[in-house]
């Protein structure tokens, strides 16, 4: 008798069943069953096991990557925040068509003022140079108008053109009559050589006073005694001062005898005290940088009055913002007052000129008893790249550190032409490392250095 046997496989084989025919023998159902289908699938198991192992390795590697990413994430966040902050101003300009309306308006105002100045100069001179400047300003104005509708003109390039034109206008103002003609040595060009020190002595206060300035009466047509020497040292933290000494003769100066003590401020921390190692005796006044300000002060030797004027420019550096700093920064040497054949000068740097040196012409008006700024030039010399500077014949000369016993004049900017020269190499021997101040005297053509408490003088040759 044939019976139908239904053998069910285990659930692990997904409910598969095998249907076979069987026979009854001795009350038993005997079936022939193929048992191979119930054998353990070792090949498939090994394949799955290998996949699991591979997956575990991948998971471990992924965990390591996640761990490293978690560790780097704060750094990346910080970098992104920094870049975002740095790019924000540029994004602001980009969103508004690269240049803001304010930038264009300010540039337009500068151009308008420049056009006015050029018109005045052209009406006075009416020569080829003034005519050329007029044409260049007209072209620049057209470039600015283009900027209002497109970004094809680079703002930096336009600003550089504007700086060049402004310098040319200032130079045009200086050329008539009284600029160089009366000083024959100035007509020879730049300084060609500087002597070894012709004077070397310790300052009359104490050699520990490492910052200050000194010199000789610098006004060529002064009725004041032209043989007067003076020394001004910074007594408070080598930064501030309120007194200076005068010697009527060279002999008294060299012996540090028979001096007159002059006090131009009640203390070293009032508005009329001096900040930084720079001063010059010009006529009957001592000119210097006023305490914590963008001002130049003048102390009157006759009346003891102090007058002041604010230097022009956007963000004039003071309080150690743009000191002389080629090798070692000289604290608070932001504003430098100088004198030469053409008069008084102020050397400084501004934010508006990117920390580069600015040269302003000063003059004292006897009728109104005021200091005034008549002209200003902007150079491309980064002020912190120079160790010091001085003026000769309307030319700015800058120095840099060579070693502890030598400085070098390496740069010149001529206010008469607006031209710069970076090829100079005029040595200045010294006895100590630091240079607090340098100044030139147009009467005897000597250069004075305050050299870490030592007073040195050199002869300039043309």
Of the pLDDT bands very low, low, confident and very high (cuts 50, 70, 90), residue 31 is confident
Q: Is residue 397 part of a domain?
A: yes
pLDDT at residue 158, rounded to an integer: 65
Distance separating alpha carbons of residues 268 and 116, to the nearest angstrom: 43
Q: Is 192 left (phi over 0), alpha (psi -120 to 50) or beta?
A: alpha
Question: Is 304 found in the same domain as 266?
Answer: yes
Q: What does the mean pLDDT of the chain come to?
A: 82
Please check whether residue 351 is in contact with residue 345, taking contact to mean a CB–CB distance below 8 angstroms.
Answer: no
If residue 84 lies in a helix (H) or strand (E), which one and from where to where? Answer: helix 42-95
Residue 54 CB: number of other CB atoms within 10 A?
10
Question: Is 119 found in the same domain as 30?
Answer: no
Q: What is the CATH number of the domain that holds 242?
A: 2.120.10
Q: Is residue 30 part of a domain?
A: yes
Question: Is 225 found in the same domain as 114?
Answer: no
Q: Which of 343, 354, 452 is nearest to 405 (CA)?
A: 452
Domain assignment of residue 426, given as a range: 184-461
The angle subtended at Cα 338 by Cα 321 and Cα 377, nearest 5°, is: 70
Q: Is residue 150 part of a domain?
A: yes
Residue 32 has pLDDT above 60, yes or no: yes
The angle subtended at Cα 279 by Cα 278 and Cα 283, nearest 5°, is: 160
- Domain tally, the chain: 3
pLDDT tens sequence across 273-330: 999 998 999 999 999 999 999 999 999 999 999 999 999 999 999 999 999 998 789 9
Question: Is 372 found in the same domain as 295?
Answer: yes
Tokens (6 digits) for 114? 């420049």
Q: How, if at all, do strands 274-282 and 259-263 pair?
A: unpaired
Question: Is 303 found in the same domain as 207?
Answer: yes
Question: Is 452 found in the same domain as 364?
Answer: yes
Question: Is 191 found in the same domain as 152?
Answer: no
pLDDT tens sequence across 386-413: 999 999 999 999 999 999 999 999 999 9
Question: Is 284 found in the same domain as 169?
Answer: no
- What's the sign of the alpha-carbon dihedral 55, 61, 67, 70? negative
pLDDT at residue 179, rounded to an integer: 41
- Cβ neighbours of residue 246 under 8 Å, at least 6 residues apart? 228, 229, 230, 259, 260, 262, 281, 301
Q: Is residue 223 part of a domain?
A: yes
pTM of the model: 0.67
């Amino acid at each position: 008798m044939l019976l139908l046997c239904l053998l069910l496989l285990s659930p692990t084989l997904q409910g598969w069943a095998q249907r076979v025919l069987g026979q009854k023998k001795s009350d038993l159902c005997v079936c022939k069953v193929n048992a191979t289908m119930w054998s353990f699938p070792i090949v498939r198991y090994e394949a799955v096991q290998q996949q699991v192992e591979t997956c575990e390795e991948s998971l471990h590697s992924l965990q390591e990557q996640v761990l490293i990413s978690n560790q780097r994430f704060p750094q990346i966040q910080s970098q992104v925040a920094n870049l975002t902050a740095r790019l924000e101003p540029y994004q602001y300009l980009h969103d508004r068509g690269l240049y803001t309306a304010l930038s264009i308006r300010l540039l337009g105002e500068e151009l308008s003022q420049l056009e006015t100045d050029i018109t005045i100069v052209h009406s006075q001179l009416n020569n080829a140079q003034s005519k050329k400047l007029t044409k260049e300003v007209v072209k620049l104005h057209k470039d600015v108008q283009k900027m209002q509708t497109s970004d094809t003109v680079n703002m930096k390039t336009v600003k550089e053109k504007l700086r060049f034109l402004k310098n040319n206008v200032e130079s045009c103002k200086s050329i008539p009559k009284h600029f160089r003609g009366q000083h024959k040595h100035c007509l020879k060009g730049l300084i060609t050589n500087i002597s070894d020190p012709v004077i070397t002595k310790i300052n009359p206060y104490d050699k520990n006073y490492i910052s200050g300035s000194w010199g000789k009466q610098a006004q060529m047509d002064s009725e004041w005694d032209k043989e007067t020497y003076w020394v001004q040292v910074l007594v408070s933290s080598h930064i501030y001062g309120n007194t200076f000494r005068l010697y009527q003769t060279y002999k008294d100066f060299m012996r540090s005898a028979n001096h007159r003590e002059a006090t131009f401020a009640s203390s070293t921390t009032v508005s009329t005290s001096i900040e930084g190692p720079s001063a010059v005796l010009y006529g009957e006044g001592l000119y210097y940088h006023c305490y914590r300000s963008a001002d130049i002060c003048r102390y009157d030797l006759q009346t003891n009055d102090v007058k002041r004027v604010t230097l022009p420019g956007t963000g004039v550096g003071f309080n150690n913002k743009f000191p002389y700093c080629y090798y070692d920064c000289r604290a608070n040497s932001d504003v430098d007052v100088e004198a030469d054949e053409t008069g008084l000068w102020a050397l400084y740097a501004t934010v508006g000129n990117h920390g580069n040196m600015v040269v302003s012409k000063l003059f004292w008006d006897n009728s109104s008893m005021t200091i005034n700024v008549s002209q200003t030039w902007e150079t491309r010399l980064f002020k912190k790249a120079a160790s010091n500077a001085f003026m000769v014949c309307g030319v700015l000369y800058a120095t840099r550190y060579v070693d502890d016993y030598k400085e070098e004049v390496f740069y010149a900017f001529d206010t008469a032409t607006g031209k710069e020269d970076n090829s100079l190499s005029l040595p200045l021997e010294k006895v100590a490392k630091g240079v607090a101040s340098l100044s030139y005297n147009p009467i005897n053509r000597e250069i004075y250095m305050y050299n870490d408490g030592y007073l040195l003088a050199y002869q300039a040759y043309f």
